[in-house]
Amino acid sequence: MGRFLLKRLVQSAIAILGTVTLIFFIQRLAGDPTLLMLPEGATREDIEILRHQLGFDRPLIVQYLEYIAQLAHFDLGQSLVQRVPVADIIAARLPYTLCLAAGALLVAVGVGLPAGILMAVRRGSALERALMALVLVGQSMPTFWSGILLIMLFAVTLGIMPSSGVDGVRSVVLPAIALGALTMATYARVARTAVLEELERDYVSTARAKGLSFRRVVTRHILRNAATPIITISALEIANLLAGAVIVETVFAWPGLGQLAVQSIAARDFPIVQAIVLLSAFVSIALNLVADLLYSVVDPRIRLEGRA
Amino acid sequence: MTTADVTPAADPGALARMARELRPIAPFLVIFLCFALLALLASAIAPYNPNTQNLLARLKPPGTAVRGIFYLLGTDEVGRDLLSRLIFGARVSLSVAMLSVCVSTLIGTLLGTIAGFYRGATEIIIMRFTDIVLSIPAILLAIITIAVLGPGLQNVVLVLGFTRWPRYARVAYGQTLAAMGLTFMRASAFNGASAPRLILRHVLPNIAGAIIVVATLEFGLMVLFEAGLSFLGLGVQPPTPSWGSMLSVGRNYMGTAWWIATFPGICLFLLVLSINVIGDRLRDRLDPRSGR
C-alpha cells in the first residue's frame, strides 16, 4: 500500500506542476498578458507602466520560475479590479459553489444510481425504457435551457421556488437539479453497465442456487462488486460539476466561483480567472487520487498491480 | 461480432439486416439528417437574411405578418426573422462541432497511436501530458484560453479541438497496445514494414471503430460546449446566429416573448438528443466491451 500511495502522490505532483505550466503558457499565447489586463483604449504609457509593474518585461523563464514560487507559497496574486488578494475573493465565493455542487451530487446520485440499478435488474421492461428516456433527456438537455425552463415552471408560473439568487435553502433546489441532470445520466449509465456485468457472473447463479433471494443477491453481492466503476466516475463527475457550475450559476445568478469566473473575464480581471481554473484542476487531480486510493481499498487486485 | 455485420454488403439479406438495425433509431436519424440538411442548404432554405433587422417588427409572436413579410416563428428583439436565424444557427452549431471533433480526433489519435506504438519514454511523456490536460475541466480550459485569444468562431473551434483530444488519445493508446499484440502485426514488423506503414496499414484500421464511437459521443458534447460558450458571450459573436447566444438574449424576454429562447432551446435539445441516440447505437455495435 505504501509504495502504491507514494507512486500516486508523485504522479499527482507531476500533474499539478504540469497544469500550472500549461496555464502559464496559455496566458502567454496571445503574447503580452498586460494587454489582457487593461481596459480597451489604454494608452501606450499605461501599458508600459503596468508591464513593468507586473514584471512582464523580464525574460520568460524568470517570470515562470517566480510564478511557480508564488504558487508554492499559495500566493494567488491580487485582483486587478478590486485590489484585494485573489484568495480572499475566492474564499468568499467558494462555499456557494460547494453547496451547489453538493446539492447537484445529491440529485445525481439519488436519482441516477437507483435508476441505473433498476434499468439493469428490470432489463427489457417498460420501466427500463422509461428510465432510459429520462437518462437521455438528462444527457441531452443543455443546462442553460433546462435552467430557464425550471425557472419558468417553478418560479414564474407556480411561484413555489425562488427564481434566482440566494434566499434560504430552497433557492439551491432548482440550480442543483439543472446542474445535476447530466451527472445523473452518467451515474445511471455506469451503474446499469456495472450491474449488468455482475449479473452474468457465476457467483450470482451460485448465490441464487443457495436459495438467496434475488433482492438479497443484488444488495449484498452485486452492488458491492459494481462499486469500483462508480467510485471511479465520481472523481470525474465532481470535477465536471464544478465546471458545469460556470453556466448554471450564470443562469440562476448564484454567487459562486462560476459566476465569478464569467464576471472576471468580462472585467478582464485575469488573476481571478487563472486562480479559479487552477483551483478546479487541483480539485480534480486530488479527487482522482482519492478515487484511486479508495478503489485500491475496495479491490485489492489494483493495489497488487501497483506493486508489481 | 464480425465486420460483416457493420459494413453494408450488396446482398439483399444484408440490406434487410441493416434496415432492422436502424429501425429503432430511425426517428433520430431523420432529425439529425434534417438539421444537417438545414445547415448545408441554409442560404437556400432560410426565408430571409438572418441578420436583417426590422425595428417595426420587434418581438412579434410566431405567425405574424408585418408589411407583407411573414414571420413563421416570430421575430427577436431587433426584428430579425427567428426561423432564418435558427436555420443559420444549425450551420454554426454543426460546423463548429464537426471541425472541432476533426481537430481533436486528429491530435488525439496521432498522439495515442504514437505512444502505443513506440512505448518507452515517448509513451510516458505523451500519456502523462494527456492526464494533465484531462485533469483540467474542459470548459474551464476553454474559457481561460478564449479569455486570452478572444472569442469568435475560429477560436472556439481551435480551443475545443485542442482541449478535447485526451479522450481520443487514451482510447487510441489502449487500442494500439492491443493491436500491437496481434500476430499479423508482429509478422508485418518482422518482415521489415516501416513504422508509418505499420501504423497506417495495420494499426489505424484496427482502432478506427473505437475512435468513431468516441467521436460520435464527443460530437454531441461539442454542440453543447459551443452553445454554452456562446451563451456566456465567449463563443460565436453577434450578429452571427448561434443557438446559445439566441438563448442568452431570449431568457431576458421569457415573460413577454417566450419564442426567442424556446425555439433555439428545442433545436439544441433535439440535435444533441439525436446525436446521443445514434452514438449509443454505434457504441453498442462497434465497441465489443459495451455490447453485453
Q: Tell me whether residues A240 and B276 touch, CB distance under 8 A.
A: no
Amino acid at A208: R
ipTM: 0.86
Q: Is the separation of the CB atoms in A247 and B138 below 8 Å? A: no
DSSP-assigned beta bridge partners for residue B75: B81
Q: Chain B neighbours among A 176-195 (CB < 8 Å)?
A: 193
The pLDDT score that the predictor gives to residue B94 is 95
Which residue of chain A comes nearest to B147, CA vs CA? A265
Q: Judge whether B131 is closer than 8 Å to chain A, CB to CB.
A: yes
pLDDT of res. A307: 42
Per-residue pLDDT tens over the stretch B103-157: 999 999 999 999 988 888 999 899 888 988 887 888 888 888 888 888 888 899 9
Using a CB-CB cut-off of 8 Å, the residues of chain A touching B273 are: 136-137, 140
Instruction: Tell me how far apart the alpha carbons of residues A142 and B244 are, in angstroms, rounded to a whole number.
Output: 9
pLDDT at B78: 85
Q: What is the pLDDT of residue B265?
A: 95
SS3 per residue for chain B: CCHHHCCCCCCHHHHHHHHHHHHHHHHHHHHHHHHHHHHHCHHHHCCCCCCCCCHHHCCCCCCEEECCEEECCCECCCCCEHHHHHHHHHHHHHHHHHHHHHHHHHHHHHHHHHHHHHCHHHHHHHHHHHHHHHHCCHHHHHHHHHHHHCCCHHHHHHHHHHHCCHHHHHHHHHHHHHHHCCHHHHHHHHCCCCHHHHHHHHHHHHHHHHHHHHHHHHHHHHHHHHHHHHHCCCCCCCCCCCHHHHHHHHHHHCCCCCHHHHHHHHHHHHHHHHHHHHHHHHHHHHCHHHCC
Q: Which segments of chain B have a pLDDT < 50?
A: 1-9, 290-292
**Is-contact B273 B35, C-beta < 8 A?**
no
- Nearest residue to B234 (alpha-carbon basis) of B164, B149, B162: B149
Q: Assess B145–A contact: CB distance below 8 Å, yes or no.
A: yes
Residue A288 above 90 pLDDT?
no
pLDDT of residue A31: 66
Q: How far is B201 from chain A (nearest CA, A)?
A: 33
CB proximity B215 to A under 8 Å: no
**How far, in Å, are A289, B255, B258, B264 from residue B59 at the CA level?**
52, 12, 10, 15
Q: Do A265 and B234 touch (CB under 8 A)?
A: yes
In this structure, which amino acid lies at residue B153?
Answer: L
| Residues B245, B232: Cα–Cα separation, whole Å | 8
Please state, in angstroms and rounded to a whole number, the distance separating the CA atoms of residues A98 and A144.
Answer: 19
On the question of pLDDT at A297 being above 80, the answer is no
CA distances from B97 to A16, A36, A284, B154, B217 (A): 30, 28, 26, 12, 11
Cβ of B273 within 8 Å of Cβ of A22? The answer is no
Distance from C-alpha of A166 to C-alpha of A178, rounded to nearest angstrom: 16
> Residue A202 corresponds to which cell in the numbers above?
457465476
pLDDT of residue A256: 93
pLDDT, position B1: 41
* A11, A243, A288 member nearest B137 (Cβ): A243
Question: How close A54 comes to chain B (CA, Å)?
Answer: 17
Provide the whole-model pTM: 0.88
| φ, ψ dihedrals at B266, nearest 5° | -65, -45
Q: How far is B222 from chain A (nearest CA, A)?
A: 11
- C-alpha grid cell for residue B16? 434487410
Q: At residue A216, does pLDDT exceed 70?
A: yes
B144 reaches A (C-beta below 8 A): yes
* A265 touching chain B per CB within 8 A: yes
Instruction: Assign A30 a pLDDT band (cuts: 50, 70, 90).
Output: low
Rounded-to-integer distance, Cα B254 and Cα A151, Å: 10
Distance CA B105, CA B242 (A): 24
Among A18, A30, A247, the residue with its CB nearest the CB of B129 is A18
User: pLDDT tens-digit profile of A128-183?
Assistant: 999 999 999 998 999 999 999 999 899 888 888 888 888 778 899 999 999 999 99
A261 and chain B: CB distance < 8 Å anywhere?
yes
- If you average pLDDT over residues A223-249, what whole number do you get? 85
Indicate the pLDDT class of residue A274, thresholds 50, 70 and 90. Answer: confident
Q: Using CB atoms, which residue from B135, B148, B261 is nearest to A148?
A: B261
Residues in B closer than 8 angstroms to A261, CB to CB, are 140, 143
Q: Is residue B276 less than 8 Å (CB to CB) from chain A?
A: yes
- Taking the Cβ of residue A266 and every Cβ of chain B, the question of whether any pair is shorter than 8 Å is answered with yes
Q: How far is CA A1 from CA A12, A209, A296, A297, in A?
A: 16, 37, 8, 9
Q: Do B148 and A197 touch (CB under 8 A)?
A: no
Q: Residue B62 — left, alpha, or beta (φ > 0 → left; ψ -120 to 50 → alpha)?
A: beta
A122 contacts A115 by C-beta, under 8 angstroms: no
For the record, the C-alpha cell of A125 comes out as 421492461
Calculate the dihedral angle through the C-alpha atoms of B55, B58, B62, B64, rounding to the nearest 10 degrees. -50
In a mutational test of the B interface, the residue from A145, A150, A152, A197 whose CB has the highest number of chain B CBs within 10 Å is A145
Cα distance from N-terminal residue to C-terminal residue, chain B: 12
B290 in reach of chain A (CB within 8 A): yes
pLDDT of residue B4: 43
Q: Over chain A, what is the mean pLDDT?
A: 85
Residue found by looking up cell 490536460 in the block? B133
Task: Give residue A23's pLDDT band: very low, low, confident or very high (50, 70, 90).
Answer: confident
Cα→Cα distances B19→B5, B26, B260, B269, Å: 12, 9, 38, 26
Q: Cα separations (Å) of A128 from A120, A223, B277?
A: 8, 18, 15
For the ranges A105-114, A288-297, B120-129, B209-218, which has the lowest average pLDDT?
A288-297
**Residues facing A89 on adjacent strands:** none
Integer Cα distance of A51 and A26 in angstroms: 18
Q: Could A18 and B272 be called an inter-chain contact, meaning their C-beta atoms sit closer than 8 Å?
A: no
Give me the pLDDT at residue A114, please: 92
Q: What pLDDT is attached to residue B290?
A: 46
Nearest Cβ partner of A26 from B144, B231, B233?
Answer: B144
Contacts of A83 (CB under 8 A, 6+ apart): none
Q: How far, in Å, CA of B236 to CA of B155, rounded?
A: 9
Contact (CB, 8 A) for B57 and B69: yes
Cis status of the peptide bond prior to B151, with omega within 30 of 0: no
C-beta of residue B171 within 8 angstroms of C-beta of residue B217? no
pLDDT for A140 equals 92
Q: Is B132 on the interface with A (CB under 8 A)?
A: yes
Residue of A nearest to B269 (CA): A141
pLDDT tops 90 at residue A304: no
- What's the average model confidence in pLDDT over A115-125? 90
Q: Hey, are the CB atoms on B128 and A197 less than 8 Å from each other? A: no
